[in-house]
Amino acid sequence: MKEMIAKCRSEVEGIYNKFDASHDLDHIDRVMKNAEKILITEPDADELVVKLAVLLHDVEDTKYEKMHEATTEELLARIGATQSITDQVLSAIESVSFSGGNAKELTSINGAIVRDADRLDAIGAVGIARAFAFGGARGRKLYDQQEEARMDMSESEYRKKETATVTHFYEKLLLLKELMVTKEGTRLAEERHEFMVVFLNQLKKEID
């Protein structure tokens, strides 16, 4: 298992290092640490499937579609994954994306762990830093006091409009705490969520 995971990380390193700081290899490593914390509390999960899914979950991210070098399935084949492992990894990855609140239904505890681990990295201090890093890379405004957060939107609507970064907090990041699935993921999300609330309140004071 360790050898396959090491091979996979080697395969994806060059891919993620071409992404901006919000989705680079450091992001993958942080999500892996989150997943390892949750794995300890979920004995029915498949550690290999979870860790491979973490390493590969952003390879085909639509936000970076012009930078794709290989498909997730091709990378799994390169490292010698069986068809069973491949199918489980692909299934886990499918349900990770938030997609404007239109995420696909979870089908396994493996997918739940990967989703929670990824969403933990989207909130808290790191989540704040990542949000502004992504917004900066896309040339988005820090905030727009006239812009209203959308609470009901399709996946295409979510991806099409490039809102100010602070608006993104209200459209996604502040919602994630309540969308955690695992008990440990939920516990870890509490403090991170509260930190974002404190940050946004302070930001509002400074803007006003």
DSSP per-residue codes, 20-46: -TTSSHHHHHHHHHHHHHHHHT-TTS-
Angle between helices 183-207 and 124-137 (to 10 degrees): 60
Q: CA-CA distance, 75 to 135, in Å (whole number)? A: 29
For 27-68, write each residue's pLDDT tens digit.
999 999 999 999 999 999 999 999 999 999 999 998 887 677
DSSP-derived letter for residue 71 is: -
Instruction: Inform me whether the pLDDT recorded for 72 exceeds 60.
Output: yes
Share of the chain above pLDDT 70, in %: 95
83: part of which helix (H) or strand (E)? helix 83-94
Q: Looking at residue 102, what is its pLDDT?
A: 60
Instruction: Please give the residue that has the higher pLDDT: either 114 or 161.
Output: 114
Beta strands in 31-168 (DSSP E): none
Q: CA-CA distance, 54 to 110, in Å (whole number)? A: 10
Mean pLDDT of 2-23: 95
pTM for this prediction: 0.92
On whether the CB atoms of residues 100 and 159 are closer than 8 A, the answer is yes
For residue 131, count CB atoms less than 10 angstroms from its CB and return exposed for 0-12, middle for 13-18, buried for 19 or more: buried
In the structure, what pLDDT confidence band is assigned to residue 100 with cuts at 50, 70 and 90? low
Instruction: Inform me whether the pLDDT recorded for 138 exceeds 70.
Output: yes
Summary mean pLDDT of the chain: 93
Q: CA-CA distance, 162 to 168, in Å (whole number)? A: 9
Q: Looking at residue 101, what is its pLDDT?
A: 56
Q: Looking at residue 153, what is its pLDDT?
A: 73
Q: Which of 38, 40, 9, 5 is nearest to 26 (CA)?
A: 9
Q: Looking at residue 159, what is its pLDDT?
A: 66
* Domains and their CATH numbers in the chain: 2-207 (1.10.3210.50)
Q: Looking at residue 99, what is its pLDDT?
A: 63
* Residue 168: CA count within 13 A, CB half-sphere: 24
For 159-207, write each residue's pLDDT tens digit.
677 899 999 999 999 999 999 999 999 999 999 999 999 999 999 999 9
Q: CA-CA distance, 150 to 147, in Å (whole number)? A: 9
Q: Looking at residue 8, what is its pLDDT?
A: 98
